[in-house]
Chain A
Amino acid sequence: MDLANFLIQLLNSVQYGLLLFMLAAGLTLIFGIMGVVNLAHGSFYMLGAYLAWSLSSMTGSFVLAILGGALLSVVFGLLLERLLFRHFYQRDHLDQVLLTFGLIYIFEETRSILWGDDVHGVKIPELLSASIPLTDNLSYPVYRLFMSGVCVALAIALYLLISKTRLGMKIRAGAFNRDMTEALGINIKLIHTVVFAIGVALATVAGMIASPISSVYPNMGSQVLIMCFVVVVIGGIGSVRGALISALLVGLVDTFGKVLLPQVAGMLVYMLMAAVLLWKPEGLFKQ
């Protein structure tokens, strides 16, 4: 592998890792703070991709589609939390697994009714459709850099929100001790609703910005969901920092595995997870 090729693979793995982080961050936050297992998290990713496709063909603008889609996803997250998830925070994990599995079916079928079962492509906006030449015949698409940029910006925003703002302080307090936080007069229910909506929005935005590259197809959520589980397990449940590091690690192993060891590429990530479990059963950054 020469330098240019290596660079391309490295950029790809970072981009994939960052995308996984967007999904895993929401999953790990929702679990860490509310104690809910959400199998339907992958459906939000799918929802994002379909929103990007239908809104961009409706408005003719990819940027408008992303902004509109993000707004819709926040509303969707708020409603879902209020109507359903709120009642499951104190229940058994088993009930949560079943509830969210039932939701996967409902979301998939609703998607099928609304948008059909065809595979669609989303056009890369004109401004970002160029490629940066690396050598005579190798180049790197600007859009992938843009994706990584968006993910990094959102990761920084998330970090600032949680560690530097008043709201973030309340979120951390709620995760640490729910009852005490409530006793201090903080509206913990509102905090939960906000955290849930943030998680949904992150996953949806990830689906939207990934759609031009991955294309849009039924069941696209389930595969990504399982990768997210692996990321969260390796990183340690509830740890956003762990999710970031483990997502990048998974991105590297998966991308380079496909190039260097294609025969076992599909299993490498799971072997990584097994190794981490032997070493640290509660993940690298257990809170």
Chain B
Amino acid sequence: MSAKAHLEVLPRSLQVVLGLGLIALVAFPFVGTDFYAQMVSRMMILAIFAMSLDLLQGVTGLVSLGHAAFFGLAGYVLAFVTPAGEPVSLWWTLPAAVAASGLAALVIGFFVVRTHGIYFIMVTMAFAQMVFYLFFDNKVLGGSDGIYVNFKPDARFFDLENKRVFYYFTLAVLVLVYAFLRRLLWSPFGRVLAGIRVNEHRMRAMGYGTFGYKLAAFALAGALAGLAGFLWGAQTGYVNPELMGFHMSAHAIMMVILGGMGNFAGAIVGAFAFEYLLHWFKDLPTIGSVNLGKHWQLWMGMFIVLVVLFAPRGLLGVVERIARRKEAVDE
């Protein structure tokens, strides 16, 4: 069933929509206010995070409930290497943070990818929680309060302290990661991962060492999550254990589902939609004596339940279904 439910090749109509979306993102800083430009930067960072999870969840069929650990870890690396009085160079801290997350994912992956299905879900969650408590319980690592990142990294050729520059830097990273993952999806490596999702036993029978492939996917996804986490730490100037928490991981799963799994474009759409909705729910007005925004968890919970009940294939799935129906009518 999971093979059928995936939309790997994007139909022309969706490609047009994505192209228009990219144009809108490029134009946005010129029309939107600073506040919204920052919000869109944040959405783009989360979109990178969601794409990294999609490599596991949508492509390989591994549902990780602990992906935020690698996201938060890279943010912490940035916080640790940034001194109190001056910025550090982007060009070594970014690779270092990504490598740290990738390495952590490699070690944790060594334990988790030998499990299947429900075990995988539970074990990834437990390991992420272990990382969470490591930082939460140790004052040296910032404790429950977290750490400030006083300066954005110094990029030498451009100034990341400038909000608009940061916006375009994030957009460039988003586009690069998307292009990389789309290319990866159709590479022999990506085909093996998709094969593992559809039928791991058959892949093994064909002679593929699925353990190694899954471990590589897990480490790569962790490294890319780290890339997003590094940007998050730089943008917000603050990291805390919540970034690694269970809710963050679950939100990422929801983003991927909401957009549509297995093609990375859905993860981007889902991240934007989810983050916008979260913002919208928290901003709901007060009616009479009831502050609707204060109860955002209730609305978000209901929304998630409704999506699972009625649109398990996500927004792109809905768009595609409408497009298909239209084509059928045209013929």
Contacts and interface: CB of A to CB of B under 8 A. Distances in A.
Interface of A: 31, 37, 39, 84, 87, 91-95, 97-99, 101-110, 112-113, 222, 226, 229-230, 232-233, 237, 266-267, 270, 273-274, 277-278, 281-283
B114 interface: yes
A222 B298 contact: no
B125 A229 contact: yes
A102 B247 CA distance: 11
Given A97-B121, A233-B123, A267-B133, A113 B304 contact: no
Contacts of B254: 98, 101
B130 A267 contact: yes
A105 B122 contact: no
A277 B115 contact: yes
18 contacts: A84-B305, A93-B63, A93-B118, A93-B121, A94-B253, A98-B257, A98-B307, A102-B300, A102-B302, A102-B303, A106-B301, A107-B301, A110-B298, A229-B122, A233-B119, A233-B122, A266-B130, A266-B133
Given A95-B312, A109-B297, A233-B119, A278 B111 contact: yes
B253 to A, nearest CB: 7
A98 B121 contact: no
Contacts of A283: 119
A226 B312 contact: no
Contacts of A87: 309
A109 B125 CA distance: 23
Contacts of A282: 115, 119
Interface string B304-324: 110111001000000000000
Interface string B96-132: 0000000000000001101101110111011101100
Contact of B304 (A98, A107, A274, A278): A98
A281 B301 contact: no
A226 B133 CA distance: 12
A283 B119 CA distance: 9
A233 B295 CA distance: 34
Given A97-B65, A105-B298, A105-B301, A37 B129 contact: no
Nearest to B107: A274
Given A229-B122, A270-B126, A282-B115, 5 more contacts: A92-B312, A94-B63, A229-B125, A277-B114, A277-B115
Contacts of A84: 305
B308 A98 contact: yes
B277 to A, nearest CB: 13
Interface of B: 1-2, 57, 63, 65, 111-112, 114-115, 117-119, 121-123, 125-127, 129-130, 133-134, 136-137, 246, 250, 253-254, 257, 295, 297-298, 300-305, 307-309, 312
Contacts of A102: 300-305, 308
Contacts of B65: 97
Nearest to B250: A101
Contact of B129 (A110, A226, A274, A281): A226
Contacts of A104: 301
A267 B134 contact: yes
Contacts of B303: 102
Given A94-B63, A281-B115, A109 B123 contact: no
List the 6 closest pairs (A to B, CB-CB), nearest first.
Answer: A105-B301, A102-B304, A106-B301, A270-B130, A109-B298, A266-B133
B201 to A, nearest CB: 16
A266 B141 CA distance: 14
A84 B137 CA distance: 37
A106 B119 contact: no
Contacts of B312: 91-92, 95
Nearest to B305: A102
A267 B65 CA distance: 18
Contacts of B126: 226, 229-230, 233, 270, 273
A103 B295 contact: no
A233 B116 CA distance: 12
A226 B125 CA distance: 8
A267 B135 CA distance: 11
A106 B299 CA distance: 8
Nearest to B129: A226
Nearest to B5: A92
